[in-house]
Amino acid sequence: HNMRSSVANMISLCELLNEGDALEEHLKMLESSVHKLDDTIRTMNDLLEIEEDTQTIEKSSINLLDAVKNNCMLIQNLIKDK
């Protein structure tokens, strides 16, 4: 949606520029749409990099009960120390 709205805005602004009315205002609006599209594309690239990184993370099994018990002990020790 973000990419499509930016592209639609740029198309509309290009059509307005061809009409020749309020050129400076339309150029500023076009610049704003281009920057929004650039931000969206950069965000998408960041998300794709994160997704690629998560696929390379090695997974391991844990015992959930042991993990909860260990965390409870740590919390109890923190409480005692205060």
CA 31-7-51 angle, to 5 degrees, is: 100
- Record the pTM: 0.48
Which residues, other chains included, contact 36 with Cβ-Cβ below 8 Å and sequence gap of 6+? Answer: 2, 6, 9
In the chain (82 residues long), the average pLDDT of successive 10-residue segments reads 74 76 76 84 85 70 88 86 72
How many helices, marked H, and strands, marked E, lie in the chain? 3, 0
Which residues, other chains included, contact 14 with Cβ-Cβ below 8 Å and sequence gap of 6+? Answer: 30
| Total Cβ atoms within 10 A of residue 37 | 18
